[in-house]
Amino acid sequence: RRAVEAAYLAKPAVTADGTRVRVMLNIAGPDDLAPLDPAHVDGIGLVRSEFLFQGRDRLPGEEEQLAAYRRILDWAGDRPVTIRTLDAGGDKPIPGLTRAGEGNPFLGVRGLRLSLRHPEVFRVQLRALARAAVAGNLKVMVPMVSVPDELRRCRDLLDEALAGLEGEGVPAARPPLGMMVEVPAAALSVADFDADFLSIGSNDLIQYTMAASRDEPELAELAEPSPAVMELIARVAVHGAATGREVSLCGDLAGEPRHVPALLGAGLRTLSMAPTSVAAVKAAVARWRAAG
């Protein structure tokens, strides 16, 4: 099977009935890209920007962030690159920034909730991203959005960063601003959000829908895509198709060939995954055809 799957690596993903599926990468930083060929994928669907903030005693400055984002954009050429703003808290603590001693960190001040409470930190990242947007096909995505007002406030901060850069005469561009759909409330009210694109974070969407911790092996059965989770995923995919907004799925489900039929059946046409999953997922796509 491995050898057969490897033959798919360099080809575009196409279903048995001829539908093109976009296969994107999830990466944790520019170093992940060194062994990879950009021609094998349709772009980068998720850059977890935590790599800039973890394991150090100082927050990364604007120039350092800009250099890292440019390295990723350079690798991708004209392919889209979706960089997610800092998703700290929950399973990703950043000493000195995230709250210590939260009773329930996964339900606490994490992701965009944290960034909105630290505009002085968030502004540096938004400025670096707006400057990087000049250099490639950059999209910016925010994690852990629950209500439309959070995304609105984020858009205001991006506007402010752009106005500041313009005032200083620093080259910058406005990247599309999208959101992760990983809180059930966001999936249920997806039409109310002013997002340029959507990406389903199934790792967190499953844990919050099933009330089952994503890192508890004993509850692995509950992490399988249940009818409830699939209904939320399909709802977001249908909304995207109806409004012409791109919807991808970038949680671990997208990298598991056995789940590809359900995800395509739910209407998804863009899947973002770890580099090691690309060949096997393309092979699974090639075996699938729409029902009826």
Does 45 interact with ligand PEP (rule: CB under 6 A)? no
Alpha helices in 171-212 (DSSP H): 184-188, 202-210
Chain center to CA of 27: 10
Strand ranges in the chain using DSSP code E only, listed in sequence order: 13-14, 20-27, 44-48, 81-84, 138-142, 177-181, 198-200, 247-249, 270-273
251 interacts with, out of ligand PEP, Mg ion, none, CB within 5 to 8 A per kind: ligand PEP
Q: Phi and psi at residue 19, in whole multiples of 5°?
A: -90, 130
Q: Of these, 182, 250, 273, 283, which contacts Mg ion (CB under 5 A)?
A: 182
Closest to ligand PEP by CB, 131 vs 178, is 178
Cα angle 137, 180, 15; round to 5: 70
Element (H, E) at 160: helix 148-168
198 interacts with, out of Mg ion, ligand PEP, none, CB within 5 to 8 A per kind: none
Residue 213 to residue 35: CA distance in whole angstroms: 33
Q: Of these, 204, 209, 225, 269, which contacts Mg ion (CB under 5 A)?
A: 204
Element (H, E) at 122: helix 119-132
Does 110 interact with ligand PEP (rule: CB under 6 A)? no
Contact 70, 171 (CB under 8 A): no
Contact 71, 30 (CB under 8 A): yes
Does 201 interact with Mg ion (rule: CB under 5 A)? yes
**What is the nearest approach in angstroms of ligand PEP to the Cβ of residue 81?**
16
Does 184 interact with ligand PEP (rule: CB under 6 A)? no
Closest to ligand PEP by CB, 32 vs 204, is 204
Per CB under 6 A, which of residues 116..155 are in contact with ligand PEP? none
Stretch that binds ligand PEP, among 36-44, 66-74, 201-209, 255-263 (CB under 6 A): 201-209
Contact 25, 80 (CB under 8 A): no
Does 202 interact with ligand PEP (rule: CB under 6 A)? yes
Q: Of these, 32, 42, 182, 246, which contacts ligand PEP (CB under 6 A)?
A: 182
Residue 73 to residue 138: CA distance in whole angstroms: 7
Q: Of these, 87, 145, 255, 282, which contacts ligand PEP (CB under 6 A)?
A: 87
Radius of gyration of the chain (CA): 19
CB atoms within 10 A of CB 99: 14
**What is the nearest approach in angstroms of ligand PEP to the Cβ of residue 26?**
7
Q: Of these, 204, 223, 232, 248, which contacts ligand PEP (CB under 6 A)?
A: 204
Residue 121 to residue 142: CA distance in whole angstroms: 14
Interface mask (CB under 6 A) for ligand PEP, residues 238-277, using x and -?
------------xx--------------------------
Tell me the two tokens of residue 259: 């789940």
Q: Of these, 89, 201, 225, 240, which contacts ligand PEP (CB under 6 A)?
A: 201
Stretch that binds Mg ion, among 12-20, 34-42, 202-210, 230-238 (CB under 5 A): 202-210
